[in-house]
Structure 1
Amino acid sequence: MTGMQADLLGKTILVVEDNEISASYFRAALSKLGASSIFARDGGEAIQLFRENKQIDLVLMDLNMPGMNGFEATKMIKSIRPEVPVIAQSAYILSGEEKRSKEAGCDEFLAKPIRLNILVEVLHRYLIN
């Protein structure tokens, strides 16, 4: 983690996650990296927050949630601002979710549990030019 402290300062990430433990993990990791984070518990809330917050630079999207799932939410988010990267995250890696997430418009797929070094690498790829 050394040398990576606060290198995402000024970046805002929308985390769509219904699991409190996963949300806490992302909250801690993003804070350590200096990024601001906004949290949504389901797809409907994610779309509302995305519309209200024009400063969102990237979306970390859980695919399996009650109510509107991550696939539907991603399609809506990409229709609003297609240039914003959406990174799918799911524990269900054997069920074809990676393929479905790409079809929905996700830019990348991360399998849970997500190791910090992988998260950092992906965030850097999309947020630091």
Structure 2
Amino acid sequence: MLNKIAYGALVAVFGMLIASEPTRAGSLDGKYRPAGEEYSGWDCKNIGSDGGALAIEGNVIFGVESACTLNNPVNVNGMNAVLYDAQCAGEGYEWSERVMLMETDRGVYNITDKFVAEWQRC
């Protein structure tokens, strides 16, 4: 049987391991549309089409006629956000970029170099 000190140390180490585990994109799974009055007509049904829905499913983000697979999640210290390496394809092109997803009260911020998109839940 573990003594109290050994048990306390074991619990502390286990707690740190859980706390350091990166949040996965899966916690943001769902359909979204861009925030703003001009996007109020987006149907939130047809994923990936112009005027349809944007989506996060597991480690994949579906944009308008594009999709990105999210790899190597890293929590951003002090923020409810995760930074990823994204492998993307769409409209005949392939590219790589860094993507940060940050949960908001209304949805998610999708942040890339020099660009922030606010997506609200459908």
Q: Which structure's residues are more often strand, by fraction?
A: 2
- TM-score under structure 2 length normalisation: 0.26
Q: Which structure's residues are more often helix, by fraction?
A: 1
Which fold has the larger relative contact order, with Cα–Cα distance below 8 Å and residues 6 or more apart in sequence? 1
Greater CA radius of gyration, 1 or 2? Answer: 2
